[in-house]
Amino acid sequence: MPPKVRGVLIAGNWKMNYGPKETEAYFRAMAAQAPSLPSDKLRACLIPPAVSLATAQHLASQNPFPITIAAQNAHWELKGAFTGELSGPMLKEIGLSTVLIGHSERRQFFGETDETVRKRADSLIAQGFEVILCIGETRAEREAHQTEAVLRRQLDEGVSAAALSSGKLIIAYEPVWAIGTGLTATPGQAQEAHAFIRGHLKKTHGAIADKIVILYGGSVTPENIDSLLACPDVDGGLVGGASLKPESFLALLSKVGRTFW
């Protein structure tokens, strides 16, 4: 297997699942099953819903292996009349330093646009957060051979030069047709999209593109993670369904560890 030069990040997005009690049970089960990560080049992250963030952050500090807790979204303003939103300072107060932005479910159901994605990412990065920024095409866009045009637009309009050069930006390529559908992109499709993303960033922003971590998301499982990660431009996974059980989240981590180190 080719060496993973940018390390590997496995991030589990719980979406609208697990309140504080279930979060506690998850961490208890995880701690009982796994005393360590298989490599220090492998990084684990969980992304619980807002109400469980403080609990998860507290439990992560006691977990036998390091695990980053990230929020599923945050606003670009620091405070104010934005009902239902979270701010960077609030997340900092409970010890968080990573935020997911622009997930396709936010774009599809909650009116997120490339412009609001860029505003959120830029503000959070300026506040010192690491941002995982999601992009990806729908099935109709892929079938209309628009994949590269969509990715190009999402990158040009959603990703600023400041975000890219901060060293705090992670991109997650998530083909919308593969999210929660059981339809995974083939390793060839994933590599093609990831190479396009890196190549486009190189063209627009130069050598920094080689350092950007690009995750793949869309029906990642312990069974397919190794073939996806074998692609040179795939630096990890953003995982929904397979992160909901501690056993399968741990199986993903240990499969990556067994395959790559």
Distances 166 to 10, 124, 131, 216 between C-alpha atoms, Å? 21, 11, 10, 21
- Per CB under 6 A, the segment of 71-79, 163-171, 174-182, 203-211 that binds ligand PEP is 174-182
- Per CB under 6 A, the segment of 30-38, 62-70, 90-98, 172-180 that binds ligand PEP is 172-180
Indicate if 174 belongs to the active site.
Answer: yes
- With respect to ligand PEP, which residue has the nearer C-beta, 67 or 132? 132
Q: Could you say which residues in the range 13-72 bind ligand PEP, by CB under 6 A? A: 13, 15
Shortest distance, position 244 Cβ to ligand PEP, whole Å:
8
- Angle (CA) 61 122 56, round 5°: 20
Are the C-beta atoms of residues 219 and 252 closer than 8 Å to each other?
A: no
Element (H, E) at 153: helix 147-158
β-pair partners for 44: 10
Shortest distance, position 67 Cβ to ligand PEP, whole Å:
18
Can residue 218 be called a binding residue for ligand PEP (CB under 6 A)? yes
β-pair partners for 98: 70, 130
Shortest distance, position 13 Cβ to ligand PEP, whole Å:
4
In the bound state, the residue with its beta carbon closest to ligand PEP is: 240
Q: Out of 75, 103, 141, 194, pick the active-site residue.
A: 103
Indicate if 103 belongs to the active site.
Answer: yes
Can residue 238 be called a binding residue for ligand PEP (CB under 6 A)? yes
Can residue 220 be called a binding residue for ligand PEP (CB under 6 A)? yes
Shortest distance, position 255 Cβ to ligand PEP, whole Å:
15
Are the C-beta atoms of residues 100 and 72 closer than 8 Å to each other?
A: yes
- With respect to ligand PEP, which residue has the nearer C-beta, 127 or 241? 241
Shortest distance, position 9 Cβ to ligand PEP, whole Å:
13
- Per CB under 6 A, the segment of 17-25, 33-41, 149-157, 215-223 that binds ligand PEP is 215-223
Q: Which long-range contacts (CB under 8 A, 24 or more apart) does 57-66 make?
A: 57/94, 57/95, 57/96, 59/23, 59/24, 59/27, 60/27, 61/95, 62/31, 63/27, 63/30, 63/31, 64/31, 64/34, 64/35, 64/36, 65/34, 65/35, 65/36, 65/37, 66/37
Report the alpha-carbon distance of residue 195 to residue 193 in Å, rounded.
Answer: 5
Residue type, 161: A
The catalytic site residues sit at 103, 174
Q: What is the binding site for ligand PEP (CB under 6 A)?
A: 13, 15, 174, 179-180, 217-220, 238-242
